[in-house]
Structure 1
Amino acid sequence: MEYVIGALLLASFFGLAVYAVRGGNLMIGMLIIGTLWTVLPLFGNTFATNPDFIAAYPGVTDISFVDAITKVYQSGPEGWGSVLVNVVFGAWFGRVLLETGIADALIRKTVELGGDKPIVISVLLSIVTTAIFSTLFGAGAVVAIGVIILPILMSLGIPKVLAVGSFMMSVGAGMYLNPVLSGQFLAFFLDENGKQLITYDDPARLRWAVIGMLVQLGMVIVMTAVSLRKKKTVHAWVASAARRARPGYVPTKALIAPILPVLLLVIFKVPIILGFTLASLYAMLVCGKMKSFRGVCRTINKDFYDGVVDTAPLVGFLLMIPIFNKSAELCVPYFNALLGGIIPNSTLVISIFFAVLAPLGLFRGPFTLFGCGAATLGILKGIGFSTPYLYALMVIPSITMNVSICMTQSWIAWGVSYAKVSTREHLRKTLPYAWITCAVMQVITFVMFG
């Protein structure tokens, strides 16, 4: 019976992959697959007769129906409360950076610093974009920054496909360190009580995240340098039209605000929510947005509202992921029975596999946690790999392939449409560099955690 149930579970996994690639609604997809992965193991447990199989997984093969559905449909979503809180506060902070004009001021000063050299300006804007999105999150934030940066790059004569590719990959580079996105990934790794098995401020994880950010940013700089190696000097005033109507004066001391939450966490161990709050208040104070108590209340209320709206499309998906995660725990005995002797338990082999086949993170494929990669993770958890290794293994293609260049990501689709670049051109430009980034990071992951 365990082999039959395992085969049915594997078939449903491939069904989810096809559904995701065809652009199906992932929130509904996760709910359906979570339900299937709850019903099938319970059915298998009822008719299992192999005493060794039953004894090998106490608490799973003998779980009651009520305990199983409570675990999947109640305890799962409840355990994600902390993730959603982090998302809301991070989105609020993002809106504060936009409304105060701090993000725009950083970009403006960067263009002025770059002088008359397009390659220098492009590289500096990539660095600034990465720094901004190390804390800023949400499709609305990417669009808001994109409508500033993309016209500047294109007005300097930088090819549209490079402008979009370098900007989006810079956004993705920052996401390696981004507390909001990291919180979503970390929520895939919870214990029985809903507590995270690995935390954002874990020193090894933070060190790995910083390395990931620098590796991807470095690859963006290489892509820019190779593409613009023969580009002629232009005058920076040609970019002024794209910046003329932006918010007014922003003091220099306000420009540290985007990285303030992370600095407070790393240096002073200030919790990330308090860090978002302090950084938001600091930004409003130094930008003159706290002139009256009533005005501050209105501003905070509006920015909170706008931030939640920015992240609303993610919330439903985020609440379905823990349902799937908990159902995957019920499937572990059956996946092990079917695949335990097939899937290698060597981290070296798995790392090579993920490096070579990194593009499977595109189009919600089996290597991205924003697609059917959640099912892949469920299978790999059953093999017994360490949590830090699995986290890094799955996050690399999720960020570099999915978040940074995939057309199924909302802001990538917006950027390509905004610049009138074809999907083929976009992938032809960015995929080789994203692939190399994934390969390098998988090597680093194996060295650090394998």
Structure 2
Amino acid sequence: MGLIIIAIMAVGVVLILTGKVPTAFALFLIATAVALVAGATLFGAENSLLTTVYEEGAITLASTMIAVLLGSWLGSLLQETAIASTLVRKTVEFGGDRPVVVALGILVVSALCGSVTGSAPAALLAGVIGIPAMIAVGVPKVTAAGTILMGIGIGMPFELPLWQFFSTTLDLSIVEVRSFMIWLFPFAALAAVAFVLIESRRRGAVHEWSLATMSERRETRAPSRRERLGDAPWYSLLTPLVPIVLALVFLVPIIPALLAGILVAVLTTTRPSMWTTRLLRSLYKGFEAAAAPITLFLAIGMLLGAVNLPGAVGALSPIIESITPTNPVLYVVVFAVLVPLCLYRGPLNIFGLGAGIAGAMTAVGVYSPMAVLGLMTSYNQVFGVADPTSTQTVWAAQYSGVSPQQVLARTLPYVWFVALGGIIVSAVLYL
């Protein structure tokens, strides 16, 4: 039975990789097939397809869905209130015509956006102005796209919806998830800074729209700069830090921390008479941005319900126990070599079949939930930056005028280092 379940998962990987079936639908089909093979009844209060997998599984990640929605809402507010664009403009002005300084500044802004709302919304917030600005001062196109993505990678360890996702998926407390995410941050930051310093040395072409000097730009914007450019007030620029500080320092729960960020964004940029209008308008935009990941989380919840069925656990236990390394050195070597399997929606992508594998590892007990957390969050650092099929990578590459595969080739060595660092820390702490 275990081999049949593995075969079902392999077929699912093929469907996802070839694009024959959207990821969420493929995960739904896999969950259904795994549950039936594992002996789940159609009806019943326990261990049934309709109740355990579909009904209970669909709401397993409900708290994550709410966190994603709030993060998307805050992201839409950062765009609508010009907080994100102001951060980018001020960074570019500070950097002047120094490519490395401009790129490092955009890297920081991208990290702030990535911590609020990951993936494509963060790339848009930082990249719409940041990518042309970097290319304008001579940063190569691939490096400009990669800088936005590497910045998102820095922010991912502090992305609150991501904390909630791993907390629910692996049945860990937020405190436990946070404790490992903090370990990932220095690796992500070091790799990102190294990327900018090394890759910015490649020659970039200066575009026509960049020929005006920074002094000319400052002269143009001198009078009533904020009114004409629509810059947000200086004190509102701290908004992206509000949820992070509340959750990280004051241990405020994730959803209230995100709500606090939303309120700060509105109160510091909007007239009282427009509060309700702006909140509703940005919320609707947030729903649009959150629709795709929420759909995916519904399917992931069903898959988790299926692989945690007693029949599935019993069938997979001997196979997983026989092939997974328990020696710390082998753990590091094997899973470091397998890093590419999280790319192209592969089997170790936590927002795909990787969620089922993580759930199976935890259910079988071959690793502690914290060891699985360390492994999957390390892989997610690679997927979130370099995967040519992820929305943020495709957008950043196309907006920069290069292919996603070029971005993959340039960023992969750096994020592989991040994953290796996370896997080593996981082995030292949890094996």
CA contact (8 A) 1:134 1:174 kept: yes
- After superposition, the Cα gap between the structure-2 partners of 1:108 and 1:265, relative to the gap in structure 1 and judged at 3 Å, is same
Cα pair distance change 1:373/1:311, threshold 3 Å: same
Aligned with residue 385 of structure 1, among 350, 367, 373: 367
Deviations 1:13-48 (A, max 9, x none): 2112222221231111111110111111117xx9xx
Structure 2 counterpart of 1:271: 253
Amino acid of the residue matched to residue 384 of structure 1?
A: V
Name the structure 2 match of 1:220. 192
Conserved? CA contact 1:389–1:446, under 8 Å: yes
| Paired position in structure 2 for 1:310 | 289
* Maintained 8 Å contact 1:6/1:338: yes
1:34-183 equivalence runs, <5 A: 34-42=31-39, 66-69=45-48, 70-137=51-118, 139-183=120-164
Cα 1:267–1:220 change in 2 (3 A) is closer
How far off its partner does 1:270 sit? 2.4
Alignment-mate amino acid for residue 279 of structure 1: G
Q: How big is each residue's C-alpha offset from its partner over 1:112-168, in whole Å with a ceiling of 9 and x where there is no partner?
A: 222332111111211221122212345244224311111001111111011111211
* Corresponding residue number in structure 2 for 1:53: none
Report the counterpart of residue 356 of structure 1 in structure 2.
337
Residue 334 of structure 1 corresponds to 315
Residues 235 and 346 of structure 1, relative CA distance in 2, 3 Å threshold: farther
CA distance in 2, matches of 1:347, 1:162: 35
- Give the structure 2 partner of residue 374 of structure 1: 355
2:391 alignment partner, one of 410, 414, 418? 410
Counterpart position of 1:16: 12
Q: TM-score, normalised by structure 1?
A: 0.85
Task: Report the Cα distance in structure 2 between the residues aligned to 1:25 and 1:258, rounded to whole angstroms.
Answer: 32
The answer to whether structure 1 residue 394 and structure 2 residue 376 are counterparts is: yes
Higher mean C-alpha displacement, 151-160 vs 408-417:
408-417
The alpha-carbon deviation at position 447 of structure 1 amounts to 2.2
Displacement after TM superposition at 1:66 (Å): 4.8
**Which segments of 5 or more consecutive residues in structure 2 lack a partner in the other structure?**
none
| Contact kept in structure 2, 1:352 and 1:442, CA below 8 Å | no
Taking structure 2 as the reference length, what is the TM-score of the superposition?
0.88
CA distance in 2: counterparts of 1:423 and 1:97, whole angstroms: 26
Bigger mean CA deviation after superposition, 434-443 or 375-384? 375-384
Work out which of the residue numbers 204, 214, 223 in structure 2 matches 1:237. 214
Match of 1:32 in 2: 29
Residue range with higher mean Cα deviation, 362-371 or 205-214: 205-214
Per-residue CA distance 1:233-290 (angstroms, 9 max, x = gap): 998629959x989852322221211010111122323222222222222222222x13
Letter in 2 for 1:300: L
Secondary structure of residue in 1 paired with 2:260: helix
For residues 343 and 207 of structure 1, the distance between their equivalents in structure 2, rounded to whole angstroms, comes to 25
Q: Does 1:428 align with 2:402?
A: no
Structure 1 gap segments, 5+ residues each? 47-62, 190-196
Aligned residue pairs: how many? 414
Mean Cα displacement is larger for which, 420-429 or 359-368? 420-429
Q: CA RMSD in A?
A: 2.7
Distance change (3 Å), C-alpha of 1:210 and 1:341: closer
SS class of match (1:268): coil
User: 1:125/1:9 Cα in 2 relative to 1: closer, same or farther (>3 Å)?
Assistant: same
Return 334-343 or 312-321, whichever deviates more.
334-343
Q: Per-residue CA shift, 1:375-395, capped at 9, x if unaligned?
A: 322342214311111112112
- 1:401/1:434 contact within 8 Å kept: yes
8 Å Cα contact 2:61/2:169 also seen in 1: no
1:79-103 CA distance string (max 9 Å, x none): 3222221112121111111111111
Amino acid at match of 1:257: T
For residue 184 of structure 1, what is the amino acid of its counterpart?
A: F
Amino acid at match of 1:10: I
